[in-house]
Amino acid sequence: MRVLFADDHVMMREALRPHLESIADQVEVVEAGTGPDVLRRLDKGECFDLVIIDLKMPGMNGLEGLREMRHRHPAIRFVVLSSSTEPETISEAMRIGVAGYIPKQMSTTQMRVALQLVLTGERFIPSAMMGGHRERVTGEGITGIALTAREQDILPLLREGLPNKLIAERLGVGEVTIKTHVSNLLRKLNVKNRAQAIRRLHI
């Protein structure tokens, strides 16, 4: 599996490389530091399973550059890794057709989970950036499904892609307790796994 990681900060690329190499078996990470470098590699036919790209790089031109890359290479999965959390930027990136939007404020563990979700064919947006989607989590649950208070606490953390251990730490309870709540959530949502649950939450 080949991943193209594009960021103009060498330190960022060096820091995240081992984490990117751990998202699947036998991952080869290729680095790029500018928008033109990304296009050069893609245009000459290099094969990549995933392109992880910052919007603010030399020669990138932000969303317009991303739109051009998607237009020229529609079969490649792009994931934006950005410090921007502006709702308009995220919405436009998703309209362009990226497979995920990961803020640099996320932990590396959350990033790995998000990328693994993308590799299953899902799209990823952190819950804090879902805008109106957060209104689905109400006292009456999602689309009429009755949820307990604790289940409602867990939902946004699931959307962030946190594993049970980190959810337990965040909520100050045992991991076994979280595992039970997650199992109950999957049953109530009538889905088989977390990926399916997240997809339903993003509808």
Half-sphere exposure of 56 (CA within 13 A, CB side): 7
Q: Assess whether pLDDT exceeds 80 at residue 135.
A: no
Give the tens place of pLDDT for each residue, 69-122.
999 999 999 999 999 888 889 889 988 999 999 999 888 988 988 898 788 777
DSSP designation for 192: S
Tokens of 177: 């307790």
Q: How far apart are CA 124 and CA 21, in angstroms?
A: 19
CA distance 73 to 186: 36
Smallest Cα–Cα separation from 189: which of 140, 138, 136, 142? 142
pLDDT digits over 43-73, tens only? 999 999 999 999 999 999 999 999 999 999 9
Phi, psi angles (nearest 5°) of residue 31: -105, 150
Burial class (CB in 10 A: 0-12, 13-18, 19+), 126: buried
Number of domains in the chain: 2
Q: Higher pLDDT residue, 15 or 120?
A: 15
User: How many Cα neighbours within 13 Å face the side chain of 163?
Assistant: 9
Count CB atoms within 10 A of the CB of residue 111.
23
Q: Are residues 10 and 76 in the same domain?
A: yes
Chosen domain end from 125, 140, 165: 125
User: What CATH number corresponds to the domain at position 49?
Assistant: 3.40.50.2300
pLDDT band, very low/low/confident/very high, at 126 (cuts 50, 70, 90): low
Integer CA distances (angstroms), 173 to 74, 184, 198, in order? 43, 16, 22
Question: What is the greatest pairwise CA distance in the chain?
Answer: 53
Question: Domain check: are 106 and 170 in the same one?
Answer: no
Its domain, for residue 158, covers 131-202
Task: Tell me, yes or no, whether 176 and 138 share the same domain.
Answer: yes
Instruction: Specify whether 78 is located in the same domain as 13.
Output: yes
Percent of the chain whose pLDDT exceeds 90: 47
SS3 breakdown of the chain: % helix, strand, coil, rounded to 5? 50, 15, 35
Q: Do 53 and 25 share a domain, yes or no? A: yes
Last residue of some domain: 91, 108, 125? 125
